[in-house]
Amino acid sequence: MTTHIGANKGDIAETVLLPGDPYRAKYVAENYLTEVTLYNEVRGALGYTGTYKGKKVSVQATGMGIPSISIYVNELIQGFNAKKLIRIGTAGSISRDLGVNELLLAEGAGTTAALREQYFANKVTFIPPASFNLLHQAYESAKKEGIKAKVGSVLSEDRFYDDSDEIHELVASYGITAVEMETAVLYTLAAKYHVEALGIMTISNSLVTGEELSAKERERNLDQMIKLALATAAE
């Protein structure tokens, strides 16, 4: 048991899916896993363990933003020996080549957050990559399952509401394809603790065209992303 996860040793699988929304965790557990147990309800951050195609898999809600996901990732790794962490979330496209409802495999993550100061004493700018093993597995699983998924980099931001588009235009000119709020610290912690991590994201809105999914669609209509994450986890 850790401060924010009320589980016992052995309750959580080495492979953990990480949605931000606790209802998405519940949806994955109820619709995709068998032999399911609920191991966490602390602060409403639901966590479940079950079986998918004979493999033990957990799904743990993390909340929104870098501070929140970093709490759960630290505790999953240090307290429960998690080895593979796959973020399943949403992102906003800043590329005309990446539309709403498409899937993105995040190969790397820049950030506007203060990770440089917090982790590297303001001396190193570290752009953490995804685990090549998980990225390759996800890409091959997508082809095998007939799921269209693109590979690109993301910008993990501190603010959801930002009146300025300048930073988006700037990073898009360098090939960043989407913005979100968690992946950079997930990859940083994975590098620190020598575990594997990958972000698989559904594009929920386009900052280029103004299209977006509804709140209900964000909660429930993300099945291709979930299927791809579980196919990757089962490898």
Instruction: Set out the domains of the chain in order of their start, with CATH numbers.
Output: 15-233 (3.40.50.1580)
The pLDDT value given to residue 219: 62
The answer to whether 43 is a known ligand-binding residue is yes
Range in 1-5, 121-125, 227-231 with the lowest mean pLDDT? 121-125
Dig out the tokens for 120 from the structure. Answer: 């590297």
Dig out the tokens for 49 from the structure. Answer: 């363990």
The answer to whether 64 is a known ligand-binding residue is no
Dig out the tokens for 67 from the structure. Answer: 């501070």
The pLDDT value given to residue 45: 97
Please, what is the end-to-end C-alpha distance for the chain in angstroms?
A: 28
The answer to whether 204 is a known ligand-binding residue is yes
Q: Is the pLDDT of residue 196 over 90?
A: yes
Using 50, 70 and 90 to split pLDDT, how confident is the model at 221? low
Number of other residues whose CB lies within 10 A of the CB of residue 209: 11
Are the C-beta atoms of residues 125 and 107 closer than 8 Å to each other? no
- 116 or 9, which is more confident? 9
The answer to whether 20 is a known ligand-binding residue is yes
- Report the distance separating Cα 84 and Cα 157, nearest Å: 23
The answer to whether 87 is a known ligand-binding residue is yes
The whole-model pTM stands at 0.94
Q: Which residues lie closer than 8 Å to 36 by C-beta, 6 or more apart?
A: 29, 30, 48, 49, 50
- 159 or 178, which is more confident? 178
The answer to whether 182 is a known ligand-binding residue is yes
* Mean pLDDT rounded to a whole number for the chain: 93
The pLDDT value given to residue 231: 95
